[in-house]
Amino acid sequence: MGVYAVTGAASGMGKASADRLRAAGHTVIGVDLRDVEVVADLSTPQGRSTAIRQTLELAEGRLDGAVLAAGLGPVPGKEAIIAQVNVRGVIDLLVGWRPALAATGNSKVVVFGSNSTTATPAVPNSAVKAFLAGNLDKGVRCASRISAAAGPFTYAASKIAVTRWARRTAVTEQWAGSGIRLNVLAPGAISTPLLEAQLSGPEAKRVENFPVPIGGYGEAAQIAEWVEFMLSTAANFMVGSVVVVDGGTDAYFRADDW
Ligand code: NAI
């Protein structure tokens, strides 16, 4: 049985993943704002340091895997925090945990991306580049040039940035070369508190009208099955991949972009 760090383990898909791993007999170190082993605010550098340090202590320096599910949705007015949690809350933690992931020699990491990375039109590349360069303020400013309601663009740019980071990083000597399989899971609309908040807010119409060919929304428990699969031996030969589980939205928009 393995030891897994799961961020966002108090709610939605992170919680469903943590529950599923525990039910399979694994040890889970949850990281979130409440109700978990490591309580830390990933929107601040201090909170991220706490999350890295306390997780490594609890894991005794060895991790079989990590799931990076903590994140905010495209909430207007929360652009700065979206950038902090969705970008730095993934990259900083993984860089800090890398030695523990390398220590086991065959570890797996699942980063939560989003199908908004391919389904949101006109996300400014300048915002993505700024996020990747570590300049979050500039990234938010670039996303805000498209629209005053910059939440969706900031959100999509944050998820594109972590997806690119994961794919670039996955294939390096320090990661693949150290036996770490780093991959991205990109869900579509999944029924969680994050989606429910969108459906009861000003974005409701946009979300409801978004094309989902199979109909309805996905369930957190279904995504947790994919997470478990991507942490299993089935992923031994999987590196830098993006697994889209979105009811067909990505294919609807981009069938010929393959
Ligand atoms: P959720 O809102 O149910 O859970 C997110 C968790 O992240 C919460 O427990 C929350 O406390 C934690 N979190 C937020 N800010 C934090 C902070 N500053 N420090 C520590 N923890 C913090 O959301 P859901 O839907 O389960 O989302 C999981 C991931 O999947 C997120 O990264 C989200 O962006 C992504 N996603 C969600 C989709 C959806 O339709 N639900 C679609 C595509 C991607």
Please give the average pLDDT of every successive group of 10 residues along the chain, which has 258 residues. 98 98 98 98 98 98 98 93 98 98 98 96 95 97 83 95 98 98 98 96 91 98 98 98 98 95
- The owner of tokens 């993006």 is 242
Q: Return the pLDDT at 146.
A: 75
Atom of ligand 1 nearest to the CA of 16: 26
Q: Using CB atoms within 10 A of its CB, is residue 248 exposed (0-12), middle (13-18) or buried (19+)?
A: middle
Q: DSSP character for 177?
A: G
**pTM (2 decimals)?**
0.98
Q: Is 30 in the pocket of ligand 1 (CB under 6 A)?
A: no
H or E segment to which residue 69 belongs: none
| pLDDT at residue 192, rounded to an integer | 98
- Domain extents in the chain: 3-244
Fold of 3-244: Rossmann fold (3.40.50)
Query: What's the gap in Å between 158 CA and the centre of ligand 1?
Result: 13
**Cβ 69 under 6 angstroms from ligand 1:** yes
Ligand 1 pocket: which of 6, 7, 11 to mutate (most atoms within 8 A of CB): 11
Which positions are catalytic? Answer: 155
